[in-house]
Structure 1
Amino acid sequence: MAMFVPAEPGPPAEATTWHRTVGGAESNVACHVAALGLRSAWVSAVGDDALGTAVVSAVASFGVDVSAVAVDADRPTGVYVKERDASGSPVRYYRRGSAASGMGPSLVDTLPLDAVRVVHTSGITPALSDSCHALMVRLLHLPRDFTLSFDLNWRPRLWTDRDPAVLRDLAAAADIVFVGADEAKLVWDVDEPAAIRALLPEPATLVIKQGAAGATLVEGDDVLFQPALKVDVVEPVGAGDAFAAGFLWATLAGEPPLRRLRAGHLRAATALRTHHDVGPSLPPSYVSAMLAASEAEWAAAFVTEGAS
């Protein structure tokens, strides 16, 4: 979607100048993964308008393959407004009737799924329309040779006239599931890792994101908690997508559980220290050092806005 953020300090209601940028959970992950050196593609739909052109161009600028993005001549590009704030940044969506909401299950037939290792999805898509929900159901229940990743990405404003109960079934059909403990509390009234696992026993890999505290990885009978890095937070929006990208990158690299969680935290730090959903990467040498750091070194680390 096209994203607008205030271009001046002070209350957003008083802003007269806004920056136009790009945002969206799946496109964020695709951009982060590409920045980490992997090939990625983004599949979606935009309107035949200036905002749609800008969105596709911006995502492509990160090295993401956008050849499968459809241009809808009848529906507009979705928009959201981010009233930035280091404590939470309220987001306002304007996407009812958007081009992306017109996607449907027939899209699955056009995807080169035999050529990919991971397909990443989120709980946002099924909230957009009945056809988008049908798309997700079909994709998640296909016989597959790829890894299916699903991030709950709870957006209550998108579910006001839809039943979020479908989210558990969609998550249960995935191989890797990311869920925020705060999201799980709102959607399923559980927030402890054991309770979330009891609710979702099916996925091989379950990652519970616990905000600034850290994240817990549950695989089989193994449970591992990794504290988050200390970060000089500019804004938290987009950090969950960055975490997912870092975790998936490390998973594809065959890294052990501890390093996969750390890779997620390191990538999340790049989003936390910027007003944009996709911020500058940390130096590879720093990432390598922190992946191998001792517990004491990890606990002592601090990433600031200006770190490079």
Structure 2
Amino acid sequence: MDGVRDMLDVLAIGETMVMVTPEHAGGRLTGDGTFVLRPGGAESNVAALLAELGHAAAWAGALGADRLGDIVIDTLAGRGVDTRLVRRDPDRPTAVYVKDPAPEATRVLYYRDGSAASAMSAADVRAWRARPARLLHLSGITAALSTACGELMRHLVHDRPLGTRWLSFDVNHRPALWRGEDDDAAGELLALAQAGDVVFVGRDEAEALWGTPDADSVRRLIDKPGHLVVKDAAAEAVAFTPSGTFREPARRVAVVEPVGAGDAFAAGWLSGLLHGDDEPTRLRLGHYAASQVLASSSDFAPLPPAEVLRVRGRRASDAP
């Protein structure tokens, strides 16, 4: 990003880890394979894709004061993301996860216990106020990292201390993170979703959490946000808005592996929101961005120039 802008388009807050992934697209995890290290985090994925599309985007969180943290900062900054709000923790490490990609189901191995990000708390909010933004993007992953992170999320969502125009919340239910006896993923994520302005949720994760079998039943449950987008994998995405309900079929794509596609969809849709596009265009932008990640072994896939993406998003259909 060139220079300092008074107002960011997007501030995304959450955990980013170092992702270890096979170097070649479609490669599996083997002992004699070659691998690359890249940032991996739902919120920073969204920030990086929005920066790629020309938006002023920042990511805030916490990393270890280690070389892995340097890799995250250097890579995200190289993609145009403002990282000046990231806190470096000298006592806790940067988390790591390892991907074993496969079209049917990518296996992911996490090494995140005791990470710098798990120590984020409401005390971090004061520093984040230094960069006002039009939109704040969060996900349910952060709420499950620790007790302090749960309190942080409730503060950001319910108290709105950052004063953004829009609060975007991606449910992003990760069952393995909600493993304590007192954890109530369904109740906690529902309360956070109900307080958002824009909410993204997968139809399948909504069914697993709340027993809602289709998009309409999700809307009856999550009835307060002005914009609710229910993603039904390869079938369609349904947007419930103040001006009506909109459905848009997903693009056909040869899937390399699916991790990160939901973040890309959110970035495409939010880009449309920030540009003032109509709802069908926002959904098509989301589908197009997701299709690029689905065809890649990375959580992040380069997108065409913003003006090209906008033209593709406005078409009724595109060739795969």
TM-score computed with the length of structure 2 as normaliser: 0.88
Consecutive unaligned residues in structure 2, runs of 5 or more: 1-16
- Map residues 103-252 of structure 1 onto 2, 5 A cutoff: 103-112=120-129, 115-143=132-160, 144-161=163-180, 162-164=183-185, 165-220=187-242, 222-252=244-274
Alignment deviations for residues 30-53 of structure 1 (CA, whole Å, 9 cap, x no partner): 000000100000001011111111
Out of 12-21 and 170-179, give the one that drifted further. 12-21
Structure 2 counterpart SS, 1:120: strand
Hey, what's the Cα distance between the residues in 2 that align with 1:176 and 1:11? 36
- Map residues 34-49 of structure 1 onto 2, 5 A cutoff: 34-49=51-66
Q: Percent identity?
A: 42
Is the 8 Å Cα contact of residues 54 and 306 (structure 2) preserved in structure 1? no
Hey, what's the Cα distance between the residues in 2 that align with 1:191 and 1:4? 35
Instruction: Quickly say closer, same or farther: Cα 1:44–1:285, change in 2 above 3 A.
Output: closer
* 2:21 paired residue number: 5
Instruction: Quickly say closer, same or farther: Cα 1:288–1:267, change in 2 above 3 A.
Output: same
Structure 1 counterpart SS, 2:234: helix
Residue 239 of structure 2 aligns to which amino acid in structure 1? L
Is the 8 Å Cα contact of residues 42 and 69 (structure 1) preserved in structure 2? yes
Runs of 4+ in 1 over 3 A off after TM superposition: 7-11, 13-17, 283-286
Hey, what's the Cα distance between the residues in 2 that align with 1:145 and 1:288? 25
Is the 8 Å Cα contact of residues 136 and 164 (structure 2) preserved in structure 1? no
TM-score computed with the length of structure 1 as normaliser: 0.92
CA RMSD in angstroms, aligned pairs only: 1.8
* 2:80 paired residue number: 63
Deviation at 1:101, TM superposition (A): 0.3
Is the 8 Å Cα contact of residues 270 and 282 (structure 1) preserved in structure 2? no
* 1:289 paired residue number: 311
Is the 8 Å Cα contact of residues 62 and 117 (structure 2) preserved in structure 1? yes
Hey, what's the Cα distance between the residues in 1 that align with 2:28 and 2:192? 38
Hey, what's the Cα distance between the residues in 2 that align with 1:37 and 1:215? 24
Out of 121-130 and 137-146, give the one that drifted further. 137-146
Hey, what's the Cα distance between the residues in 2 that align with 1:284 and 1:114? 24
Instruction: Quickly say closer, same or farther: Cα 1:30–1:284, change in 2 above 3 A.
Output: closer
Alignment deviations for residues 90-111 of structure 1 (CA, whole Å, 9 cap, x no partner): 2121111100000001112222
Residue 56 of structure 2 aligns to which amino acid in structure 1? R
Provide the aligned length of Structure 1 versus Structure 2.
298
Instruction: Quickly say closer, same or farther: Cα 1:284–1:66, change in 2 above 3 A.
Output: closer
